[in-house]
Chain A
């Protein structure tokens, strides 16, 4: 650990500290424990249907498409219609998410595959952990329910998100993640996804579908949360 020791020694010498000063330790522990919120933009501070509308507007501004259904039972037909309308193959890969598994896929003629993607899938559906209205961002957490590869490898990614799970800003999403997983604990991967993959690397011309999905279609389900704090 010679390298580690030397780096810490140089940092402390440069800062003129020893590393065991109580005030400094206190400041750091306090910040890590309480994670003070910074400046939160007004843009996302709306509730109810206005928040869902902001989420959709922001997502569409980055070339995602958004549909709304009243409840989970309508999701399979909404997805089948989307694939039909865009002349995409009637096939769909998904993980083990019980919310997805409980949907009436039998009412459609979609052929379903399950598990992680091997890179050859046309379409996949995932259930988002939530959404963030401020930037139209989807929040995906890894695991067998919604494998991370489904977010990245298929050509077309369809994401189901509960209207009640759409928050106004990133900070509220952190609160929820901490409540779900524990303070200081994160799922193995959290993907924030804001629109389909793109690149501007050739002559600064924006092109969709670089390495990730060419299309991102969002299906918002149900009613927004009855919101107390907005």
Chain B
């Protein structure tokens, strides 16, 4: 019942996305907002680049000692009366959560934003068991009404425009006045606040994710701007934290380092509005807070990434900066990626979690421009890892026959440098000559054999003269002559 990936249809998904005018309008907001805000936040903190190094080092240290920190974390949670559960895969995690909810005779289950909960598909599972899961993050609530997946890991409804949200609210909130004005975003927010306030107060169980789990204290940490996750974990009798193994961080001081890069990279805030540290259930004398505190720790393939060329992906703190800066993500949005995690981090993580046979298209959806790596707060070498996936896809004979044939053809020449130089000079010379003699569109081709994918959308410029290698050699020689003189 977990989310069925459409990642194998990436090309078709992307085609639909490019033709979707509503989506294209909404995606304009990503390019405008996130990039500028992150840059301004980074500029306000002179130590930002050094802080990224510090964040990377903390994550590397933790991953190298993950077994031990997990044990210490579990001890601490147990000491304060919480329960730690381990789930190897999505099915085990769903069952553990369902059992806890059943034991509480739960009817309404509120949820803070959690990508792991999307990964295990918990909502559909709880619904099938007769419970009502309610997403409380505004963006998540909107997409739940639309029966969609998040299209961004921190801005789940970034693919939508306000008018679409308005029509969803009118469709679902039938008890409200039909004539009410919802033309302004603030009116939509106010309506969602009132509707969800009732759900918060009615909830029997609250499920949140965790940005970090602290080994030193046994605390789970969530970072939100709305306060929804905080209400989700404060009001119901039972709080369930759902987190994957790599969320463990050694100490509160280490968390402080990561917090300083998280919000700046994500939304361009110095710190998110609410950073909430929860440690166990209600204590004696408390007048609010959950009576039961459970943590479900999910592996789902991550432990096998340790010690491989994909280990560094486990440093990810889910800020979304890589997708905010990705030209491919800007063009097609998050849904085209076809599973839970979109953008560059999704292109690396998805094949690890659902298999390169299903997710293999995603690492190909990159121009390798390198912006993702240049903004990653924990310096994950995303382009390098996408290249690893391409290699694996090729090795496992998963790439299409045409791609393989093309690469073999190119490989034949690439391994024979003199033949390569001769052939490219001949081909470029011919193309250049054709470009010069062609009548009306001098210097450009509107159609070329074997290059239809390119020329369908734009002209192919005719080569202007020498090949790259020839030019390179000439420039090197010129440089040497200058030095000698």
Contacts and interface: CB of A to CB of B under 8 A. Distances in A.
Interface of A: 1, 3-4, 6-8, 10-12, 14-17, 19, 24-25, 27-28, 31-32, 35-39, 41-43, 58, 62, 95, 115-119, 134-135, 137, 142-144, 147-149, 151-153, 169-171, 174, 177, 184-205, 207, 209-213
A13 B297 CA distance: 19
A213 B349 CA distance: 36
B274 to A, nearest CB: 6
B289 A32 contact: no
Contact of B287 (A17, A31, A134, A147): A147
A58 B231 contact: no
B251 A202 contact: no
Interface in B159-185: 160-162, 165, 185
A211 B136 contact: yes
A188 B68 contact: no
A188 B279 CA distance: 5
Give 8 nearest A-B pairs by CB, closest first. Answer: A212-B227, A210-B226, A201-B139, A14-B306, A192-B275, A10-B303, A170-B256, A35-B251
Contacts of A37: 253
Contacts of B190: 209
B289 A211 contact: no
A15 B65 CA distance: 9
Contacts of A177: 252
A188 B317 CA distance: 24
Contact of B189 (A4, A43, A199): A199
A207 B67 contact: no
Nearest to B225: A198
A148 B234 contact: yes
30 contacts: A14-B305, A15-B64, A17-B67, A28-B65, A28-B69, A35-B250, A38-B58, A38-B257, A41-B260, A117-B288, A119-B197, A134-B270, A142-B283, A147-B287, A174-B253, A185-B217, A188-B278, A188-B281, A190-B276, A192-B276, A194-B273, A195-B273, A200-B155, A200-B267, A202-B162, A202-B188, A203-B29, A203-B161, A210-B225, A211-B193
Given A3-B87, A188-B286, A209 B276 contact: no
Given A6-B88, A43-B45, A36 B276 contact: no
A198 B216 contact: no
Interface in B171-211: 185-186, 188-190, 193, 196-197, 200-201
B192 to A, nearest CB: 8
A4 B92 CA distance: 11
Interface in B225-240: 225-228, 230-231, 234-235
Nearest to A119: B201
Interface in B241-276: 245, 250-254, 256-257, 259-260, 267, 269-276
Q: Which of A41, A58, A211, A212 has the most CB of B within 10 A?
A: A211
Contacts of B218: 186
A8 B84 CA distance: 14
B406 interface: no
Interface string B37-53: 00000000111001100
Given A35-B253, A198-B273, A211-B227, A204 B197 contact: no
B54 A39 contact: yes
A143 B161 CA distance: 42
B67 A62 contact: no
Contact of A196 (B29, B228, B273, B289): B273
B72 to A, nearest CB: 6
B290 to A, nearest CB: 9
A85 B71 CA distance: 53
Given A38-B54, A39-B51, A4 B138 contact: no
B45 A3 contact: no
Contacts of A209: 189-190, 193
Contact of B86 (A4, A43, A137, A200): A4
Contact of A205 (B66, B185, B201): B185
A210 B250 contact: no
Given A35-B252, A135-B271, A142-B289, A24 B257 contact: no
Interface of B: 26, 29-30, 32-34, 45-47, 50-51, 54, 58, 61, 64-72, 76, 86-88, 92, 136-139, 142, 155-158, 160-162, 165, 185-186, 188-190, 193, 196-197, 200-201, 215-219, 225-228, 230-231, 234-235, 245, 250-254, 256-257, 259-260, 267, 269-283, 285-289, 297, 299, 303-308
B193 to A, nearest CB: 6
A11 B306 contact: yes
B88 A3 contact: yes
Contacts of A202: 138, 142, 157, 160, 162, 165, 185, 188-189
A178 to B, nearest CB: 8
A41 B46 contact: yes
B425 to A, nearest CB: 49
Q: Which of B76, B137, B188, B286 has the most CB of A within 10 A?
A: B286
Contacts of B245: 7, 11
Given A35-B253, A174-B256, A210-B225, A190 B277 contact: yes
Nearest to B308: A14
A60 to B, nearest CB: 13
Contact of A197 (B64, B67, B273, B283): B273
Given A14-B308, A42-B46, A189-B234, A142 B76 contact: no
Nearest to A5: B86
Given A201-B157, A204-B34, 19 more contacts: A11-B66, A28-B68, A28-B250, A41-B45, A137-B271, A142-B289, A143-B283, A151-B230, A170-B252, A186-B218, A188-B282, A189-B234, A192-B275, A192-B277, A197-B227, A199-B225, A202-B162, A207-B185, A207-B189
Contacts of B139: 199, 201
Contact of A191 (B30, B65, B185, B274): B274
A156 to B, nearest CB: 14
A196 B235 CA distance: 19
A135 B223 CA distance: 15
